[in-house]
Amino acid sequence: MKAVIIGAGMGGMSAAIALAQLGVETHVYERVTENKPVGAAISVWSNGVKCLNYLGLAEETAALGGIVDTMSYLEGYTGATMCRFSMRPLIDEVGQRPYPIARAELQSMLMNHYGMDRINFGMKMVDVEDGPDAATATFADGTTVTADVVIGADGANSITREYVLGAPVTRRYAGYVNVNGLVAVDDTIGPATEWTTYVAEGQRVSVMPVAEDRFYFFFDIRGEPAGVGGDIQAELRRHFAGWAPGVQRLIDTLDPATTNRVPIFDLDPFHTWVKGRIAVLGDAAHNTTPDIGQGGCSAMEDAIALQWAIRDHPGDVRTALQIYQASRSQRAADLVLRARRRCDVTHAKDPDATADWYAELRKEDGSNIIRGIVGNIMGGPLTQPQRP
């Protein structure tokens, strides 16, 4: 069997590795000419870590991951602790520590494991079409490639998705811009082994550890994307004026040249992921906000589910893809909608609901938050009570 994967992001590379494990002939095509991930880091929750472990990357993942022993919420203006709790109950319940990981390093790990020289860079797909005996992808330089299956892991603005659905779809702006990057660990901002989040007025400032004594940081700024531009430190000082000393220290410390501005969008869930020999995966199938940290993890789950479907139906690609779709679309849709609900509360779409959440945080012992995180983690191919 020959498989073409469009996109060398986390989902595409996970799919390529997973299918190669079966002995499938895989070919990866990526439109960019070099590895430039959007965003500084990613929260790889326990379900995503289990996927990476399954793909043979357990040691590498642990080496890149930051150690998060505790989690805390602080009042944005005063810096007072609203709650702080251990992550140990979560780790014990799901059987795997989560790891925040620098996005470029995670991407490089996946690419190197698959084989960097096996990835076709600078290949922008402009068309894809199913046929009776093969599917065909066409690229901007005029080249075409045929395969038994084409997997569109081509991101939030997926061309493959348009073909599968028969029409383009419009993404929904979630109402905030995420500003993120990496800085050296600094205990005046937050403890070195803690995920620390400052909250106030529907905005967040957060730091979490990644490898090599660094924090991944992000600021959530409410409003339209056009309102966040120019001098990023000046913008952050304006949007977070009067916030706690730890927040001001973070703004002073960050490097504007390596800081990202990312307007946040998501996509209404849909359940048609497959058309004949062509399927979507990752953001192409379930573009989500990062509010529960499951976007990348869900893409990795897609890859494992795809592998299992093809493993169980090696001579019938169309049936395998339908089984892949049935196993994933509802789970992914649920996560998109959970993230959307969390986004709305976190970012004060209803100010009263957000005020109620802040009041709950001041009484929180961690059990409710951990219960919610566990609910997000459980339900994928490697977190079911029994694997097929």
pLDDT tens per residue, range 219-249: 999 998 876 778 999 999 999 999 999 999 9
pLDDT band at 34 (very low <50, low <70, confident <90, very high): confident
Instruction: Specify the pLDDT at position 388.
Output: 35
Instruction: Specify the pLDDT at position 33.
Output: 87
Instruction: Specify the pLDDT at position 257.
Output: 93
Assigned CATH for 2-171+266-377? 3.50.50.60
Contact assessment for residue 120 and residue 29, using Cβ atoms and an 8 Å cutoff: yes
Q: Which of 36-45, 230-239, 331-340, 354-363 has the lowest mean pLDDT?
A: 36-45
pLDDT tens per residue, range 345-370: 999 999 999 999 999 999 999 999 99
Contact assessment for residue 281 and residue 11, using Cβ atoms and an 8 Å cutoff: yes
Instruction: Specify the pLDDT at position 38.
Output: 64
In whole angstroms, what is the distance from residue 250 CA to residue 252 CA?
5
Instruction: Specify the pLDDT at position 386.
Output: 42
Give the chain's mean pLDDT: 96
| Strands in the chain per DSSP E | 2-6, 25-29, 41-44, 70-75, 81-86, 99-102, 119-120, 125-129, 135-139, 144-147, 149-152, 172-184, 194-200, 203-210, 214-222, 260-266, 274-275, 278-280
Domain locations in the chain? Answer: 2-171+266-377
In whole angstroms, what is the distance from residue 294 CA to residue 377 CA?
8
Instruction: Specify the pLDDT at position 187.
Output: 97
pLDDT tens per residue, range 264-283: 999 999 999 999 999 999 99
Instruction: Specify the pLDDT at position 359.
Output: 98
Task: Report the share of the chain in percent with pLDDT over 90.
Answer: 95
Question: Which residue, among 328, 293, 295, has the nearest Cα to 90 in the 3D structure?
Answer: 293
Instruction: Specify the pLDDT at position 90.
Output: 97
pLDDT tens per residue, range 154-168: 999 999 999 999 999
* 40 pLDDT above the threshold of 90: no
Q: What is the pTM for the complete model shown? A: 0.96
